[in-house]
A and B are shown apart, each in its own frame.
Chain A
């Protein structure tokens, strides 16, 4: 096939349908996204609803273009959707500070309660830099374990 014919062929009706791409992403990253969502929303029925929302959204398709860090793109999308769901359906949730050390507290607020670094800094009355440092320490501890 001529090169220009090949490009025409690819650009015409032979693109992979969107739903196939989303399903392929679900097959590969469904468990990962579900794990992220469950950290923020432990209630399984709500977490499953968010999971469906993630893999039927346009945002998750953008992760296909992100060849370099597809996994982390799915993590970011799942987290964003879970936080949006919480804000929509659980607006009056009380923020609890759990954990013995600062990295544990920061991690809990960030990954279980969905707070941004600025919100965590405000909640714990510490600078934003300390919040980011605590996140770094948390992942360092994970590497050691």
Chain B
């Protein structure tokens, strides 16, 4: 096999970009194992393609990170707004205000047990208050009854 013509056939790039057929992928795996120059060329092509795409990178507007974060936590974003300015100017663009129409508020996770504790304590105090109220009421009636008995005697 002519390794030079194989390297220049574009099959290395096709494999790296995910365009190769199953047979082409298997063929490359075998060649990389058996031909050192193909293995080296493959690594070099990977590095070349990486530097190519890195050279074409365009920083996204900062608010996109917030949207990604929001979508990861909540599963969806109810209302989001993307920047419509042409991408040539996007790198200099200032962050824009994004309006969220969210009916939920975020609170610290300790608020949940704190709220449950306050709720349970309020029920306990309510029950105690009712208990002592009725007990005091019954005692007042008992005292009144005893006073009447004493007066009658």
Which A residues have a C-beta under 8 Å from some C-beta of B? 18-19, 22-23, 26-27, 30-32, 34-36, 38-39, 42, 44-49, 51-52, 55-56, 69, 71-72, 75-76, 79-80, 116-117, 129, 131-136, 139, 142-143
Contact = CB atoms under 8 A, between A and B. Distances in A.
B110 interface: no
Interface string B83-94: 111110010000
Contact of B65 (A26, A42, A142): A26
Chain B, interface size category, equals 35 or more
B8 interface: yes
A46 B87 CA distance: 11
Interface stretch (B16-24, B124-132, B142-150): B16-24
Contact of A31 (B46, B59, B84, B86): B59
Given A45-B82, A132-B13, A23 B8 contact: no
What 10 pairs between A and B have smallest CB-CB spacing?
A132-B10, A45-B82, A19-B72, A136-B10, A31-B57, A35-B56, A48-B82, A35-B57, A34-B60, A35-B58
Given A72-B50, A117-B19, 11 more contacts: A22-B68, A34-B60, A42-B87, A44-B85, A44-B86, A48-B83, A56-B72, A129-B9, A129-B10, A136-B8, A139-B48
Nearest to B16: A72
B44 to A, nearest CB: 9
Contacts of A117: 14, 19
Contact of A38 (B54, B64, B87): B87
Contacts of B82: 44-46, 48-49
10 contacts: A22-B68, A34-B60, A35-B57, A35-B58, A39-B56, A44-B83, A55-B68, A72-B16, A132-B10, A132-B19
Nearest to A130: B10
A90 to B, nearest CB: 16
A135 B10 contact: yes
B67 interface: yes
A71 B18 CA distance: 13
B111 interface: no
Contacts of A52: 64, 67-68, 71
Given A44-B85, A48-B61, A32 B16 contact: no
Most buried by B among A52, A72, A79: A52
Interface in B98-124: none
Contact of B68 (A36, A56, A79, A133): A56
Contacts of B50: 69, 71-72
B69 interface: yes
B40 interface: no
